[in-house]
């Protein structure tokens, strides 16, 4: 079910202290990666009195979002006598929240977990909505389940430690939220200063994106209908990510979403009458920020193969989310191979 315990706070330690009173402190474990251990753990360690022996450290990066990492978390919990009344605190970005949530949800048939997302992308996307999982056989988020964190604490103080790439990675999801929700928010984002993550306006935009995601999740927790709107841009994005992993290239999820929005906008134009001027304006705006993913026609067969293995598909039919116009998403759209190639050609031609 939808989790209403998503708290946007500037009193993180106070909130966390209050929640941890419900657990034995020696049974509270914290999952971090190299980055969140260095930049974020000191912020919450000042007042929470967590046992430093209960820190589970994993390697940073999407390539480590795999079953081996999950097993290492299970092993740590088991060797350190975690029980069904333990809690796992996921302190980090999307990878930490995704695999930490899955590991907690499956250990001893499920222990509580708390998400403290520390990147822009995880604050407005990965940590909210209950999706957990990991990559498998080269496919993005192939294994997973929907299970809500007991609490999600979102504090924008962590954004001050992020580099430009990670800010932009999260910003692409904000663009997606605007495109599926309304024109007004998209217009606001066009004027948002991405250099001032500490500003009141930036924080207000983060809150707005979280509320937009919650709007869809609350209506459809298990993604049977309207929540599929949030998948806009993601069918191509996941294929691009899988291709990058296969080629051992670096690509963040947020950049992949930015790249994926463009071919899916093109399919929206061809199949649903999305405005052509808007298609070009949005595509050019995204490219001006993110550049382009380096693909050519030799990659098309592999990309289409990844698309056909997308977990959102039903039977042999693709299930894409497209747009009739900004703020009006259409779910469960199927496309033929020739249309996918046409969309990739459009992207490559820009």
Please say whether the dihedral angle defined by the alpha carbons of residues 135, 1, 17 and 109, taken in this order, is positive or negative: negative
188, two tokens:
């606001």
239, two tokens:
């294929």
Spatial neighbors of 234 by CB under 8 A, at least 6 apart, are 257, 260, 312, 321
pLDDT at res. 50? 80
Cα separation values, 27 from 22, 54, 270, Å: 11, 8, 55
Q: Are 274 and 191 in contact (CB under 8 A)?
A: no
Q: Are 119 and 98 in contact (CB under 8 A)?
A: no
Quote the radius of gyration of the chain (alpha carbons, Å). 20
State if pTM tops 0.75: yes
| Distance, CA of 281 to CA of 225 (rounded, Å) | 29
| The residue to which tokens 């191979």 are assigned | 337
Cα separation values, 320 from 305, 333, 345, Å: 15, 5, 18
| Distance, CA of 225 to CA of 155 (rounded, Å) | 30
Helix residue spans in 122-233 (DSSP H): 164-181, 183-190, 200-219
| The residue to which tokens 């407005």 are assigned | 124
pLDDT tens over the chain, length 350 residues: 445 577 888 889 999 999 999 999 899 999 999 999 999 999 888 767 787 889 999 999 989 999 999 999 999 999 999 999 999 999 999 999 999 999 999 999 999 999 999 999 999 998 888 999 999 998 888 999 999 999 999 999 999 889 999 999 999 999 999 999 999 999 999 999 999 998 999 999 999 999 999 999 999 999 999 999 999 999 999 999 999 989 989 899 999 999 999 999 999 999 999 999 999 999 999 999 999 999 999 999 999 999 998 878 887 788 999 999 999 999 999 999 999 999 999 999 99
pLDDT at res. 1? 40
pLDDT at res. 3? 52
Domains 6-161 and 164-349 share a fold: no
Q: What is the CATH number of domain 164-349?
A: 1.20.1090.10
Sheet holding 87-92, edge to edge: 6-8, 151-154, 112-117, 87-92, 28-33, 55-58
The residue among 242, 240, 244 whose CA lies nearest residue 258 is: 240
Q: 3-state class of 317 per DSSP? A: strand
Overall size of the chain counted in residues? 350
Domain ranges, ordered by start, for the chain: 6-161, 164-349
The residue among 152, 131, 114, 113 whose CA lies nearest residue 7 is: 152
| Distance, CA of 169 to CA of 258 (rounded, Å) | 8
Q: What is the CATH number of domain 6-161?
A: 3.40.50.1970
């Amino acid at each position: 079910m939808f989790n209403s315990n998503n708290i946007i706070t500037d009193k993180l330690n106070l909130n966390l202290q209050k929640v941890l009173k419900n657990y034995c402190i020696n049974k509270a474990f914290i999952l971090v990666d190299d980055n969140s251990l260095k930049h974020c753990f000191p912020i919450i360690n000042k007042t929470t009195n967590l046992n430093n022996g209960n820190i589970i450290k994993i390697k940073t990066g999407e390539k480590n979002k795999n079953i081996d990492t999950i097993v290492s978390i299970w092993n740590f919990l088991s060797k350190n006598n975690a029980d069904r009344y333990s809690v796992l605190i996921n302190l980090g970005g999307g990878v930490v929240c995704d695999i930490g949530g899955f590991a907690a949800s499956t250990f001893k048939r499920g222990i509580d977990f708390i998400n403290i997302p520390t990147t822009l992308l995880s604050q407005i996307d990965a940590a909210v909505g209950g999706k957990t999982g990991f990559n498998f056989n080269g496919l993005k988020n192939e294994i997973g389940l929907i299970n809500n964190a007991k609490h999600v604490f979102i504090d924008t103080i962590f954004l001050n430690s992020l580099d430009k790439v990670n800010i932009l990675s999260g910003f692409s999801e904000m663009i997606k939220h605007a495109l599926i929700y309304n024109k007004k928010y998209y217009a606001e984002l066009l004027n948002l200063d991405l250099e001032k993550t500490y500003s009141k306006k930036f924080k207000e935009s983060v809150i707005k994106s979280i509320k937009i995601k919650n709007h869809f999740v609350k209506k459809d927790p298990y993604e049977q209908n309207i929540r599929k709107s949030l998948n806009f841009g993601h069918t191509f994005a996941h294929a691009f990510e899988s291709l990058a992993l296969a080629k051992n290239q670096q690509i963040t999820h947020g950049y992949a979403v930015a790249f994926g929005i463009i071919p899916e906008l093109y399919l929206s134009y061809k199949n649903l009458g999305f405005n052509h001027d808007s298609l070009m304006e949005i595509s050019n705006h995204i490219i001006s920020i993110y550049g382009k993913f380096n693909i050519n026609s030799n990659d098309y067969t592999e990309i289409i193969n990844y698309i056909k293995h997308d977990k959102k598909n039903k039977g042999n039919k693709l299930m894409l989310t497209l747009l009739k116009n900004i703020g009006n998403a259409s779910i469960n759209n199927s496309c033929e191979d020739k249309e996918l190639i046409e969309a990739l050609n459009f992207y490559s031609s820009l």
